[in-house]
Amino acid sequence: MNKSIKIILVVAGTVLLGYGIYTFIVPETVVSIGSLDLIKAQNDNKAYIAIGLGLVILLLGLFKSK
């Protein structure tokens, strides 16, 4: 595999992994009106997909040889 392609895969995998972890950790949306708190439930499916794709692309870039 070309060295530039490996670098692109490692960077893309790292970005996807970071984005997935960020969306997984960030708290839910909370709206407070007086004593009333409205909380939007967080859907973690997108976070799991981003983390999984990030890991696959990162490992592919790191361990795949020519």
- Burial of 13: CB neighbours in 10 Å, binned 0-12, 13-18, 19+: buried
Q: What pLDDT does residue 66 have?
A: 56
Q: What pLDDT does residue 23 have?
A: 84
Going 47 to 53 to 56 to 60, the CA torsion angle's sign is negative
Provide the pLDDT confidence category of residue 28 given band limits of 50, 70 and 90.
low
Domain that holds residue 49: 3-63
| CA-based nearest residue to 44, from 21, 18, 13 | 21
Task: Provide the number of structural domains found in the chain.
Answer: 1
Provide the pLDDT confidence category of residue 42 given band limits of 50, 70 and 90.
low
Write down the pTM of the prediction: 0.71
Does the pLDDT value for residue 65 go beyond 70? Answer: no
